[in-house]
Amino acid sequence: MTTNMETFQFQAEARQVLDLMIHSLYTQKEIFLRELISNASDALDRLRFEALSRPELIGPDEKLEIWIESDPKARTLTISDNGIGMSRDEVIANIGTIAKSGTRELLQSLRDKASETLTTLIGQFGVGFYSAFMVADRVTLLTRRAGEEKAVRWESAGDGTFTVTEGSKFTRGTSITLHLKKFEEDAEIDDFTERWVIERIVERYSDFVAYPIIYKSHDSKEPDRTLNSMKPIWTRPRSEVTDDEYKEFYKHISHDWNEPMRTWSFRAEGRSEYQALLFVPSQAPLDLFYATGKFGLHLYVRRVLIMEHCEELLPPYLRFLRGVVDSADLPLNVSRQRLQEDRHITQIRKWLTKKVLDSLEEMQKNENESYVRLWSQFGRVLKEGVTDFDNKDKLTALYLFESSNDPQKPTTLKEYVGRMKTDQGAIYFLTGPSRRAVENSPHLEAFRDKGYEVLFLVDPVDEILAQWLPEFEGKKLKSVGKGVADLGEEKELKEKEREFSKLTTALLRKLEDRLKEVRLSSRLTSSPACLVVSEGEASPHLDRMLKQVKGETTQQKRIMELNPNHEIIVKMRDRADDSVLDDFAEVLYGYALLAEGSELQEPTKFNHAVLRILGKAI
Ligand code: ADP
């Protein structure tokens, strides 16, 4: 009968997710229904959008609905919609692969994690459809794309393969039949063929879905029932909506299984009227920094959904927020192209940005612990906002940095300024790959001895951030690894310069291919030497990052600074023409590189020099 049946393998990632689902210890198995209803609701939304330009897609079948039907005897449950449906190619592409960026990496990390974190992690990819396999041992999907003649039948027992054949379906949309696992009365799982069970699940998770969810009874005497109220949650007064309702709504629009960290509802009244319901996810989405990531809020105009991912409603550095905006002022037919220039959208974006930044500030003040948690997830993306001229001050006040003051607690710039010593000239920082790497850098020594706090900018974006933040509240931000240390001992150094001039000249001559200057410095107290760059030049950390990304460095020559009080520098002062100088220069240079966390350019040369010096010393 079905001659055109083709069998396919699930993509490796999809297969792993499926395995996790089938064997999952996830106790809330009932959420499969929420996921399938969400997909049905999305398919109806998509149909509505496409029909804006092609009304024939809807045609006479104009009541957009979701149906649930159960058959206790056959132990099946069917969820149907008359939405956009899928073509054969779409079925193969969408069901059977996981296209989300970062999935592979996530699955990799899953292997090392305990199973409790599994559910939080798994929630991040939007594995909605696969959750059906938590309750079914076989799933059949029958679908017909709006505007197409042919239907497609997809089937799988979740065993690594699926089949695709031509199907027969007279109306557009998708119908998913679950062949439910055997029901055991003593197991803690409900019988999903019972109406009251379905009723309870829909009420709990999907009440706000904008299309009727109709229960069609198997028993023909029982009338069909609409199970959801369809009330848009953001139009209801906050006091009347329970936390659980907000959470479920968040999960519906975000496809995240985890609960949101924060829920904010804002309302603007007066000349223009709009409201917003925003959520901060509890974890940064996997694709937050991928170009393929899909962001943006749901845009409604007077309760009608206009766009699912409207990116224009928030600046890019707030793209981690999920939620909806409903405006009374926009035309219903506002087009994507026009959005960017639309006066109302610009106005909403300004308003929302202010509301969000105010809320973050309040959270930082009154619930610091939660704020620190939020920062750990979204700090990096908030830092991108440093280029937003209008909000720069507000944003920089929100930024947290690691600092030498307290290893446990990040600091704001304001707190830093409050702790500054009276004679301290600037806000000092050092960039690097990790706290551990910079904490032990020789560049910090004198600053530490003077009790000056140093910020550790150890996030890759901090290099760029530092360039955009020349000062804060009138205090300059200054890298401890750049320019002259300026620690108030410049006069004494000047005097010593002549004393050491033979040594500095000889060292520069020896290391000329790598250095542009050798000078004395007040930066060091216990180390003999370090390498610095001029103000305005790329830091060694940036140089290393460029090398990783582009395979090349800026190849700038650096400056070597000597500690005139260090024993070995003092000893070498009068032996600048000694034959040991060659090896001494090599070892000193290598030492300085290693101490700041850089790599030796010529390890063999360094090693040989070390051995020769040791040979003489022993
Ligand atoms: P997600 O919904 O998070 O994208 P799913 O695994 O639930 O992940 O679904 C994968 C894709 O399959 C969806 O993005 C959609 O394109 C398609 N799909 C799922 N269910 C339906 C449906 N009822 N109608 C049309 N397309 C659907």
pLDDT at 588: 96
| Confidence tier at 153 by pLDDT (50, 70, 90) | very high
257-271, 321-335, 443-457: least confidently modelled range: 321-335
- Say how many Å lie between the CA of residue 149 and the centre of ligand 1: 21
- Say how many Å lie between the CA of residue 108 and the centre of ligand 1: 24
pLDDT greater than 60 at residue 53: yes
CB atoms within 10 A of CB 138: 17
Which residue, by CA, sits nearest to atom 12 of ligand 1? 94
Q: Where in the chain is the domain with CATH 1.20.120.790?
A: 490-617
> What average pLDDT does the chain have?
88
pLDDT at 241: 94
pLDDT at 200: 93
What's the whole-number mean pLDDT along residues 204-217?
Answer: 92
pLDDT at 114: 53
pLDDT at 106: 67
d(CA 334, CA 346): 14
What's the whole-number mean pLDDT along residues 350-360?
Answer: 97
| Burial 239-271, CB ≥16 within 10 A → b, else e | eebeeebbbbbbbbbbbbbbbbbbbbbbebeee
Q: Where in the chain is the domain with CATH 3.40.50.11260?
A: 400-479
User: What phi and psi values does residue 51 have, to the nearest 5 degrees?
Assistant: -75, -15
The residue ranking higher by pLDDT, 328 or 371, is 371
d(CA 120, CA 282): 10
| Confidence tier at 188 by pLDDT (50, 70, 90) | low
- Say how many Å lie between the CA of residue 501 and the centre of ligand 1: 73
| Confidence tier at 175 by pLDDT (50, 70, 90) | very high
Tell me the pLDDT tens digit for each residue of 280-304.
Answer: 999 988 788 887 778 999 999 888 8
pLDDT greater than 60 at residue 1: no
Which residue, by CA, sits nearest to atom 11 of ligand 1? 94
Tell me the pLDDT tens digit for each residue of 116-152.
Answer: 455 555 666 656 888 899 899 999 999 999 999 999 9
Write out the two tokens for 317. 């550095």
User: What phi and psi values does residue 161 have, to the nearest 5 degrees?
Assistant: -130, 160
For the chain, give the percent of residues with pLDDT over 90: 56
CATH number of 400-479: 3.40.50.11260
pLDDT at 244: 93
| Confidence tier at 380 by pLDDT (50, 70, 90) | very high
What's the whole-number mean pLDDT along residues 580-600?
Answer: 91
The residue ranking higher by pLDDT, 461 or 260, is 260
Q: Where in the chain is the domain with CATH 3.30.565.10?
A: 3-230
pLDDT at 303: 85
pLDDT at 219: 76
What's the whole-number mean pLDDT along residues 79-88?
Answer: 97
- Say how many Å lie between the CA of residue 43 and the centre of ligand 1: 8
The secondary structure of 452-479, three-state, reads CCEEEECCCCHHHHHHHCCEECCEEEEE
Ligand 1 pocket check for 141: Cβ under 6 Å: no
Instruction: Find all residues with CB under 8 Å of 517, minimum gap 6, and list them.
Output: 508, 559, 560
- Helix axis angle, 115-122 relative to 103-110, nearest 10°? 170
pLDDT greater than 90 at residue 272: no
pLDDT at 306: 83
Top mutation candidate among 15, 42, 156 for ligand 1, by most atoms within 8 Å of CB: 42
pLDDT greater than 70 at residue 112: no
The residue ranking higher by pLDDT, 463 or 453, is 453
Ligand 1 pocket check for 173: Cβ under 6 Å: no
Longest dimension (CA), the chain: 108
pLDDT at 321: 97
Among 577, 578, 599, 580, residue whose Cα is nearest residue 590:
599
What's the whole-number mean pLDDT along residues 313-336?
Answer: 88
Among 368, 370, 345, residue whose Cα is nearest residue 282:
370
Q: What topology is assigned to 234-373 in CATH?
A: Ribosomal Protein S5; domain 2 (3.30.230)
- Say how many Å lie between the CA of residue 79 and the centre of ligand 1: 13
pLDDT greater than 90 at residue 509: yes
pLDDT greater than 70 at residue 612: yes
d(CA 577, CA 369): 60
Q: Select, from the ranges 169-178, 295-304, 492-501, 595-604, the one with the highest average predicted confidence (pLDDT).
A: 169-178
The secondary structure of 151-220, three-state, reads EEEEEECCCCEEEEEEECCCCCEEEEEEEECCCCCCCCCCCCCCHHHHHHHHHHHCCCCCCCEEEECCCC
pLDDT greater than 60 at residue 616: yes
Write out the two tokens for 499. 């004393």
Q: What is the DSSP string of 332-381?
A: TT--HHHHTT-HHHHHHHHHHHHHHHHHHHHHHHH-HHHHHHHHHHHHHH
pLDDT at 248: 92
CATH number of 3-230: 3.30.565.10
Q: Where in the chain is the domain with CATH 3.30.230.80?
A: 234-373
* Collapsed DSSP state (helix, strand, coil) of residue 142: strand
Ligand 1 pocket check for 285: Cβ under 6 Å: no
Which residue, by CA, sits nearest to atom 16 of ligand 1? 94
Ligand 1 pocket check for 94: Cβ under 6 Å: yes
pLDDT greater than 80 at residue 574: yes
**How many Cα atoms sit within 13 Å of 158 on the Cβ side?**
23
24-28, 209-213, 391-395: least confidently modelled range: 24-28
pLDDT greater than 60 at residue 416: yes
d(CA 404, CA 383): 21
Q: Which CATH architecture has domain 490-617?
A: Up-down Bundle (1.20)
